[in-house]
Amino acid sequence: MNDSAQPQPYRVLARKYRPTTFAGLIGQEAMVRTLTNAIAADRLPHAFVLTGVRGIGKTSTARIIARALNCVGPDGAGGPTAAPCGQCEHCVSIAEDRHVDVLEMDAASRTGVNDIRELIDGVRYRPTSARYKIYIIDEVHMLSTAAFNALLKTLEEPPEHVKFVFATTEIRKVPVTVLSRCQRFDLRRVDAGVLVRHFASIAEQEGAKVAEGALGLIARAADGSVRDGLSLMDQAIAHAGMEDGGEVTETLVRDMLGLADGERIYDLYDALMRGAVSEALDIFGGLYSAGADPAIVLQDLLDVTHWLTRLRLAPEAAAVPGIAEMDRIRGGKMAETLSVPVLSRVWQVLLKGLGEVRNAPSATQAAEMVLIRLAYLADLPSPAELAESLRGNAAAPPASSRDNGAAGPPSAPVAASGAAPAPSAPGGSGGGGARASALRQPQAEFAAPPEALAPPDPGPPAPTGPQNFAELVALFAERREALLHAHLVADTHPVRFQPGHVEFRPGPNAPSDLATRVAARLRDWTGAQWLVSVSSDEGDPTLQEQRDAAAAARHGAAVNHPLVRAALETFPGARVEAVYEREAEPPDAAPLPAPDDDEDDPEDGDPVS
């Protein structure tokens, strides 16, 4: 019987299509260019460290490096090359994992210092037949601390005939002392579009029928890993029954991966955005009955939210290869109707809900509660709409006046035009007092005789806006312009003021554009043009200085008050901490008796409270 007629054992796609040259590495152009130039210029480091996610090609790259450094060409006279011939004895034996001078070690199973000492003992011997003795250590981060320490000296000054190639998925676990002695190469995740083209080429070579949507699902599930994607495609081809001419469809891949149906996910998303709670729960129930995991459903909703946000901000993303037709068409329509703030809010709810589903005793119930929350959230206004609504309600007249038909006082300018009402003078009760008096006015009118109800002569119209500098500053406080208010209080010396014209001398800490900003705010709030100018005149003290001076005067008057002096003498060590002015004396309050000493008149000082 002829041995060549015997069928060859099946090799999985991940091994069958493992790259053997730098040209076969996909998605790693930067690393390939660096290594190619280094080999061509004979600037080879003595140690390499390759890092990246699982299945990205770290071990394959290490073997390609070993072949490139030891290749002698078909004629046996070649040197190191970036394009190994694949025909010489070194290329063939390295590809078959049987070269005596290329030693591979799995650090996951040989982590101890004795394993590294055994390796170091063989470093001093020259290679048997190859140009370089190459040590490939996979998952190097799993070596023990003692093993790393034993390797340091040899790694720093290895013999000329030795090269180290380390591979790891956890680069942060490798000691810095080791990394500093190696040349590092980061293998990037392969883009989904590149994976789709690569998988399509392999499917064509295998004679398999794989739909474009199925390739996109496999590429996204691979998450940048070539090996993971090839394993999934191998499984999908077997699941479709290639011997029966079966085609790998998008539905088949979804069933194989346990993903929810994409069309139904969009139906669920649409129902949630419309606030249709019952419809959304029915769709979710159907997905759950079909075998979809509740956490996977929320993950799919998160993916849709991310995709719609990308389409909203960058519609050209739909033209990227590998995007399913459903995502391109239906996602594009939904992205046109949903705003970024809404999508961001949905993302936050789903992200928090996914953690709840994973930790809840009943994942189904937790997922349903998240969907209900999302459906009701769709009817809520955005913060900007809510603020606008509140602003509109504030501008409307009081409901009691409308319902009762009471005339009441005329509306203030702020209710009609959005301008701020003039604040009370300093030392008064502020805007609250003005509002209280306005509310009390109708009661006073009903109590007055009928002739008093006649409208008084309005006289000449008062100018709109603040009537003095203190009212202007109070207006900025009422409008919550905290920064400008602080500068007006502490960094401006008022020079002159009349309605429509303000002139002040700025202090050293005042911003250079303070006058411009103040004028703009006054114009917006009052509807009138204000001239705010800067002067070099001395002007009055700042409001803060005036307040400090008034507080110091009150404190001095209180301390010099005879009763306070008597209290301080009675209680040694006591001091006046704060002085507050009494706003008004009760009508029946008796005046304080005057002291006998005429020099210390109580009226010379302020009362103490």
What is the three-state SS of 129-189? CCCCEEEEEECHHHCCHHHHHHHHHHHHCCCCCEEEEEEECCHHHCCHHHHCCCEEEECCC
Alpha-carbon distance of 308 to 267, in angstroms, equals 14
Q: In what order do the strands lie in the sheet with 102-106?
A: 102-106, 133-138, 162-168, 47-51, 183-186
Q: In which band, very low, low, confident or very high, does the pLDDT at 414 lie, cut at 50, 70 and 90?
A: very low
Is the pLDDT assigned to residue 354 strictly greater than 50?
yes
pTM of the model: 0.53
Is the pLDDT assigned to residue 309 strictly greater than 90?
yes
Is the pLDDT assigned to residue 459 strictly greater than 60?
no
Return the percentage of the chain with pLDDT > 90, whole number: 18
Question: Residue with structure tokens 């502490």?
Answer: 490
pLDDT at position 607, please?
A: 44
Task: Give backbone dihedrals phi and psi of 165, rounded to 5 degrees, phi first.
Answer: -130, 115
pLDDT at position 512, please?
A: 83
Dump pLDDT digits (tens) for 558-588.
888 888 887 777 777 778 777 777 654 444 4
Cβ atoms of 296 and 259 within 8 Å: the answer is yes
Q: In which band, very low, low, confident or very high, does the pLDDT at 502 lie, cut at 50, 70 and 90?
A: confident
Alpha-carbon distance of 602 to 56, in angstroms, equals 91
Cβ atoms of 105 and 136 within 8 Å: the answer is yes
Is the pLDDT assigned to residue 421 strictly greater than 60?
no
Tokens of 100: 């005596």
Q: What is the mean pLDDT of residues 32-54?
A: 90
Architecture of the CATH domain 258-377: Up-down Bundle (1.20)
CATH tag, 192-256: 1.10.8.60
Greatest CA separation for the chain: 139
Alpha carbon dihedral 151, 155, 158, 164, in 10-degree steps, equals 100
pLDDT at position 433, please?
A: 40
pLDDT at position 424, please?
A: 39
- CATH: 3.20.20.140, 3.40.190.10, 3.60.10.10, 3.40.50.300. Which one for 13-186? 3.40.50.300
Higher pLDDT, 547 or 386: 547
| Three-class SS state of 247 | strand
Is the pLDDT assigned to residue 432 strictly greater than 60?
no
pLDDT at position 427, please?
A: 40
- Give the closest residue to 253 by CA, choosing from 227, 229, 218: 218
Q: Taking the CA atoms of 198, 201, 203 and 209 in sequence, report the sign of the dihedral they define.
A: positive
Numbered ranges of CATH 3.40.50.300 in the chain:
13-186
Q: How far is CA 318 from CA 218, 307, 327, 366, in A?
A: 18, 9, 8, 33
Alpha-carbon distance of 268 to 367, in angstroms, equals 13
Cβ atoms of 392 and 438 within 8 Å: the answer is no
pLDDT at position 121, please?
A: 86
* Residue 583 burial by Cβ neighbours in a 10 Å radius (0-12, 13-18, 19+): exposed
pLDDT at position 462, please?
A: 45
Numbered ranges of CATH 1.10.8.60 in the chain:
192-256
Strand-strand pairing, 162-168 and 47-51: parallel
Is the pLDDT assigned to residue 276 strictly greater than 50?
yes
Is the pLDDT assigned to residue 251 strictly greater than 90?
no
Alpha-carbon distance of 217 to 199, in angstroms, equals 11
Number of H helices, E strands in the chain: 26, 10
Helix 482-490 / helix 514-526 crossing angle, nearest 10 deg: 120
Is the pLDDT assigned to residue 500 strictly greater than 70?
yes
Question: Residue with structure tokens 């849709």?
Answer: 304
CA 287-291-292 angle, 5° bins = 55
Is the pLDDT assigned to residue 463 strictly greater than 60?
no
Alpha-carbon distance of 480 to 477, in angstroms, equals 5
Numbered ranges of CATH 1.20.272.10 in the chain:
258-377
Mean pLDDT in the chain? Answer: 78
Cβ atoms of 233 and 257 within 8 Å: the answer is no
Higher pLDDT, 189 or 1: 189
Alpha-carbon distance of 308 to 489, in angstroms, equals 49
- Give the closest residue to 230 by CA, choosing from 478, 55, 21: 55
pLDDT at position 444, please?
A: 38
CA 51-104-57 angle, 5° bins = 35
